[in-house]
Structure 1
Amino acid sequence: MADLILHHYPNSPFSEKVRLILGYKKLAWKSVVIPAIMPKPDVQALTGGYRKTPFMQVGADIYCDSALICDVLEHLQPAPTLYPEPGKGLARTLAQWADETLFWTAMAHNLGPKGAAHMFAGAPPEAAQAFAEDRKAMRIGIPRMRPQDAAASYKSYLRRLSDMLDEQPFLLGQAPCIADFSAYHPLWFTKVRTPVVADILAHTPAVLEWMDRMAAIGSGTMEKFSAAQAIAEAAATEPMAVGHGLLRDSTFQDEHGIALGSRVTITAESFGPEPTEGELIAATRTHYTLSRRDERAGKLHVHFPRIGYVLKKAEA
């Protein structure tokens, strides 16, 4: 199998989630650092439009969204598992809450005036403005919380996490699972990237101790790689056949009346409005796969989770 290539940047919370999982599963990976804001021509050469961070590349297969990346890594390296039995449904549900509700609450607190000033200290004023405009363009259907309201909710969520840690080292037991990695990354941003507002964590010492246990996992064995090298690797590789790659399920599940082979677009439903267009070659109970071609990267298969993404026929 081709190497694991993670396209990410250091400050990205969802990238930290995936980096830790790579470390937990003791996987070697190549690191392509991508821009935090648009334009992202090398990213979109591979994804066809999708511009959220991170995404993972294996040869000419592109896996979008950290939730799908986690499933791919679990298939590649089943032990230690992210989805322990019994209770994997609970772990996935808690992870989804963390990636959505907890994340946006934490980030509204983190990037309030004080936190934002710390993040962009020493940078020219236009850098902060460019970041704000970029993220504003990405937000669709996500209400913006005021920092005061976010702080109140964040404190409540931290207390709930603390309660889960009363008699066990991780949220759902003796070992970390997908819920831990998803709950950790927005708190990591608070502590590491906006420490001027991290005093909110001090009220829940059990959470801080859990964060130390999570941070100790590390991020595995990383090798630096360039975007040009990643695109060249995609161009030199054939995508894996549907049902024979890292997403083994190929059973067609039709919820839209759109046949395989149709020209379609896939778009995130709430954050990142850029569509990816291609030929629909898989629509299973968990994921979609599009086949597309790029003049630099060649033929590609681009994979998305079903949850959180909108499938439509492409306009003629």
Structure 2
Amino acid sequence: MPDLILHHYATSPFSEKLRLVLGYKKLAWKSVIIPNIAPKPDLVALTGGYRRTPVLQIGADIYCDTSLICDVLEHVAPLPSLYPEPGKGLERVVAQWGDTTLFWASMAYSISGKGTADLFAKAPPEAAKAFGEDRKAMSVNMVRHRPGDAAAAYKSYLRRMSDMLDDTDYLVGAYPTVADFACYHALWFTRKRTPSMAGILQITPAVSDWMDRMAAIGHGTMETFDAAQALAVAAANTPHTLLSDSTFQDEHGIPLGTRVTVAAESFGPEPSEGELMAATRTHYTLRRTDPRAGTVHVHFPRIGYTLRKVEA
């Protein structure tokens, strides 16, 4: 199997989620650092438009969204499992909540007040302005929390997580699952990126202790790589997905082989365009060709993404 290539940047919370999953599964991986705002020409050469962070590349297969990437890494290294029985349904539900409801409340709280100053303490004023404009463009389809509402919600969510930790070391059992990784990264951002706002975590000592246990997992074995090398890897390989489900599930009346776009429902709505190669119960796959990357297959989860036919 070709190398695992993670396109990410150090301060990305969703990247931290995957870095810890790689560490939990004791995997070796190659690190390609991408810009934190547009333009991202090297990444888009692989994805066809999608620019959220992170993206996992394995040869000429490009996997978007951490929920799908976790499934891929489970295939690469089945043990320790992110979805242990008998609670895998609950684990996935909690993970979806962590990646959405919890995440957006935590972000709205963390980057309010002194949090913004923390984020850009060592950056010139124009960097903060550019970042704000970039995220505004990515959030065009979203309703965002006001700071006061976010603080109230965040405190409630932390207390609920604390209740989940009353009798166990992790959120749904004795060992980490996908639920833990999906809930951790939002709190990591508060603690590490906006320390002026991190006092909110002190209201739930059990959650702080859980965060320490999660952080101790580490990031696996990382090797520095660059975008030119990653593009060369894509061009030298033939797509061969690691996603195991392949049965066509038609919910849109769009047959395979059709020119389509796939885009996130909310944050980061930039579409990727290509030929529809798969529409299964869990994912979409697009086939596209780029002058530098060659022919690649780009994979998206069904949940949270929209499929549309490209009209002539």
TM-score by length of 2: 0.99
Matched, 1:250 2:246: yes
Per the TM alignment, residue 101 of structure 1 is displaced from its structure 2 partner at its CA by: 0.3
Q: Which amino acid aligns with 2:264?
A: A
Aligned partners of 1:12, 1:19: CA distance in 2, in Å? 10
Which residue in the other structure is 1:302 paired with?
298
Tell me, in whole angstroms, the C-alpha distance in 2 between the residues paired with 1:140 and 1:76.
Answer: 35
How far did 1:212 drift? 0.3
Matched ranges for 1:159-170 at <5 A: 159-170=159-170
Tell me which residue corresponds to 2:73.
73
SS in 2 for 1:247: coil
Separation of aligned partners in 1, 2:269 and 2:175: 36
Partner of 1:19: 19
> What stretches of structure 1 move > 3 A for 4+ residues in a row?
none
Does the alignment pair 1:95 with 2:95? yes
Give the corresponding residue for 2:131.
131
Matches within 5 A, 1:252-291: 252-291=248-287
Aligned counterpart, 1:105: 105
Cα drift, residue 141 of structure 1? 2.9
Give ranges in structure 1 of 5+ residues lacking alignment: none
The amino acid across from 1:251 in the alignment is: T
Partner residue, 1:231: 231
* Corresponding position: 1:64 with 2:31: no
| Structure 2 CA distance for aligned equivalents of residues 114 and 307 of structure 1 | 34
| CA distance in 2: counterparts of 1:184 and 1:274, whole angstroms | 26
> What amino acid does structure 2 have at the position aligned with 1:82?
L
Q: Which residue of 1 aligns with 2:141?
A: 141
Which structure 2 residues correspond to residues 147-186 of structure 1 after superposition, within 5 A?
Answer: 147-186=147-186
Cα distance in 2 for partners of 1:288, 1:122 equals 40
Give the Cα–Cα distance (whole angstroms) in 2 for the partners of residues 17 and 87 of structure 1. Answer: 20
Shift of 1:315: 2.4
Q: How far apart are 1:93 and its partner, in Å?
A: 0.4
SS in 1 for 2:207: helix
Residue 50 of structure 1 aligns with which residue? 50
Query: Deviation per CA, 1:181-236, whole angstroms, max 9, x where unpaired?
Result: 00100000000111110000011000000000000000000000000100011111
Give CA deviations for 1:240-285 in whole Å, capped at 9, x if unaligned: 1xxxx31021100000000000000001010111110000011100
Instruction: Report the Cα distance in structure 2 between the residues aligned to 1:218 and 1:122, rounded to whole angstroms.
Output: 26
Query: Deviation of residue 39 (structure 1)?
Result: 0.5
SS at match of 1:217: coil
RMSD: 0.7
SS at match of 1:17: helix
Question: For 2:298, what is the secondary structure of its paired residue?
Answer: strand
C-alpha deviations, 1:41-61, integer Å up to 9, x for none? Answer: 001000000000000000110
Matches of 1:271 and 1:156, distance apart in 2:
24
| CA distance in 2: counterparts of 1:34 and 1:113, whole angstroms | 28
Return 5+ residue gaps in structure 2 as ranges: none
Q: TM-score, normalised by structure 1?
A: 0.98
Between the aligned partners of 2:247 and 2:44, the Cα distance in structure 1 is: 28
